[in-house]
Structure 1
């Protein structure tokens, strides 16, 4: 795993945390440039996530042959246990303590659909959001996994084009004719393709390590996100996010040995899953005792998110993933994976 991308993944996760902090505590009515940035631009962390996801999935599957079934199983084992745990926890909280949450509605049907990554209208009436609201991005992730699994049915040189064609047919065709949920009509899914494109460029040696030109790309992407409204999310935030990811890939030599950044990136998925629950608890503290919102955020929410995400990563993500992989049926002996270096390609 590229440490620069792990660091960027951590940054993206905490951008989303700050975005939801502004939503839950201030209803996006922010004062000051920092508050305004996270209110209006913190959601761009999701776009960075999607580009990173396309890059990581593409690179991680190059060094070993796989079947579509094995690829899907590995990916689902990676994301499902923690997601199901926090979805169940959220469902229990909605039933038992819904009065303390802004949208206390949950039904058995929507709960089960959430577990199965099926987009459905939230019973709270505010859109196609699962029981654990942040899971809407995982619905796109699983959709991308399904499409990406088709790559293993085609020659390697044709695989990125095949994924692009299938995504285009579904987003631009199937959704318009009602053959697929309108949820998938969002062009945000093309951000996965941007990540694949960066992966192809890196594999072919087109991305050269550097300092100033990668920093310039990162700066250009950040400025674009800051100034552009996401009227067309792919163009306004997706492409700038790709510039940021591309710049970080080229900066990889400067991240060697950065264990803390790698550790933060490792925990980013758990940060993403747990932060809403912690922020809701923080809001209850503010409402009950009239504490300062920023004081509660930095003194209670941030430390607790950090601690819980570390425990979640160690106990849910790593341990359950290893247990599930050991339990899952194995395919016939596979060749030993080669290290992910250009020399092996």
Structure 2
């Protein structure tokens, strides 16, 4: 891959880092609206799905599945074991066989009035996997000479799905019709937009001006996302999805052809592992710090610092360990 292409992808990693840490801060009750990090993740997925399949899909699905699914299964099994060993930490959380199987197969399941898998945060992967299915269907439906049209077909399928959600549908179909799915459409549309707009030419002519515009746009989007409370389901696309798309565009243009800070790149690379493991880090940090320093200002400050640091460190070491598992899985798959 050319260095220019690598930098395009690296610019997106800074957004992944921001999205992951926003979710972490939300689960630490530091901010209320960090759930928009999920919208950013979905927009990135839509964009990268188009970008990564631009020159063909050979081996792409295998890489994607190996990177995501086994680790999710590992964390799901770990959660089941944790529930059995430490039930007090999970508020008498019970896991039936049907609940576990549906969780592993990315099928929404109602538990205590909420549709989420055993590993709560895995609900986002239920949407992600459905998007992969739609994109795969779109590829099969698109003639080879019109390869770029696969994204448009996928967008149409998603929009039709969300439109069905306006009716009273049985679960899990109503779950899948959530407007969150439209974030993938935004990512695909941004890909098409940046194929049309010659960013490099504009930046070479008016670099300072565009940097200022991108910086202002990103700042406005971040402030808007952080101050707006959690929107109702039907409004999420407009309140979080659209501003997240503006943030993506601003960051992508700003870092176009540039290197991003190594710390952001590292956190972005391990964002998936931070996302799935951080609840345990946060819960353990809160428990230990509260016992040692109480729940005053000092304890609260330490929870923030240690919790964020522990989530990143845990994500990093899990990433290293899982890379070994990933190699084994690839070897088994290839054989």
> Which ranges in structure 1 are unaligned for 5 or more consecutive residues?
23-34, 331-345
Aligned with residue 96 of structure 1, among 85, 89, 95? 85
Q: Secondary structure at the match of 1:328?
A: helix
Question: Structure 1 residues 213, 295: closer, same or farther in 2, change over 3 A?
Answer: closer
Question: Structure 1 residues 224, 162: closer, same or farther in 2, change over 3 A?
Answer: same
Q: Does 1:160 align with 2:167?
A: no
Cα distance in 2 for residues equivalent to 1:116 and 1:72: 17
Q: 1:179: how far off?
A: 8.4
1:304 matched residue in structure 2: 310
> Which ranges in structure 2 are unaligned for 5 or more consecutive residues?
1-5, 204-209
2:129 matched residue in structure 1: 142
2:207 matched residue in structure 1: none
Cα distance in 1 for residues equivalent to 2:171 and 2:264: 43
Cα deviations by residue, 1:235-269 (Å, 9 ceiling, x for unpaired): 11100000000001101147415332211110111
Cα deviations by residue, 1:162-194 (Å, 9 ceiling, x for unpaired): 001111222223784548521112111100110
What pairs up with 1:81-230 in 2 under 5 angstroms? 81-102=70-91, 104-122=93-111, 125-153=112-140, 154=142, 155-173=146-164, 176=167, 177-178=169-170, 181-207=173-199, 208-209=202-203, 210-229=210-229, 230=231
Question: Structure 1 residues 104, 287: closer, same or farther in 2, change over 3 A?
Answer: farther
2:328 matched residue in structure 1: 323
TM-score normalised to structure 1 length: 0.82
Q: 1:291: how far off?
A: 2.8
Question: Structure 1 residues 130, 158: closer, same or farther in 2, change over 3 A?
Answer: same
TM-score normalised to structure 2 length: 0.84
Cα deviations by residue, 1:45-95 (Å, 9 ceiling, x for unpaired): 1111111111122111112343xxx54433211101221111111111111
Cα distance in 2 for residues equivalent to 1:187 and 1:312: 32
1:337 matched residue in structure 2: none
Alpha carbons 2:16, 2:41 under 8 Å: kept: yes
Alpha carbons 1:72, 1:146 under 8 Å: kept: no
Cα distance in 1 for residues equivalent to 2:135 and 2:92: 34
Q: Does 1:282 align with 2:285?
A: yes
2:28 matched residue in structure 1: 21
Cα distance in 2 for residues equivalent to 1:214 and 1:135: 32
Aligned pair count?
Answer: 309
